Structure 1
Amino acid sequence: MGDTDWTWRYESAAGDLVSLTPADTVDGFPSQADAETWIGEEWARLLEAGVDAVTLLEGDRVVYGPMSLHPAT
């Protein structure tokens, strides 16, 4: 696998894919830890951009998700 095999899939509350501009996201991460650190820092901005949930992928394999970006109530 290459240097950017870990990616996030961005989803709406209905489960549809949400397209983001390149400025709103990162193409990929070298490790799961890097991907999770990034989402931990950027989740609120993604939520404002219309993303309700994310799914972590390693290549084509779903690692986990969808995971809501909304704060627990």
Structure 2
Amino acid sequence: MNIAKLQTKYLRIKILNQTMGTRSGDQQKKQRQKEFKEKKEHQERLLAAKKANHNTGKSDDEANEMPKTKV
């Protein structure tokens, strides 16, 4: 093979690798966005559960306290 053909082949491979890398980068970006969204939804669910149990949590704490006695 002459140098021109080798350079052309090299450039084709380089371009192919770049496009594959771009797709991989897009997939990684989508995966990170998905994980961020799932984490945010999970935090919102935890916060909602905490708010729902806020009032009942106070009564549970009072019921669990032992009365203080003198020794």
- What's the TM-score bracket when you normalise by the shorter of the two chains? under 0.3
Q: Normalising by the residue count of structure 1, what TM-score does the alignment of the two structures yield?
A: 0.23
* Structure richer in strand, relative to its length: 1
Task: Kindly name which structure, 1 or 2, has the bigger radius of gyration based on alpha carbons.
Answer: 2
Q: Normalising by the residue count of structure 2, what TM-score does the alignment of the two structures yield?
A: 0.24
Greater RCO (Cα-Cα under 8 Å, separation 6 or more): 1
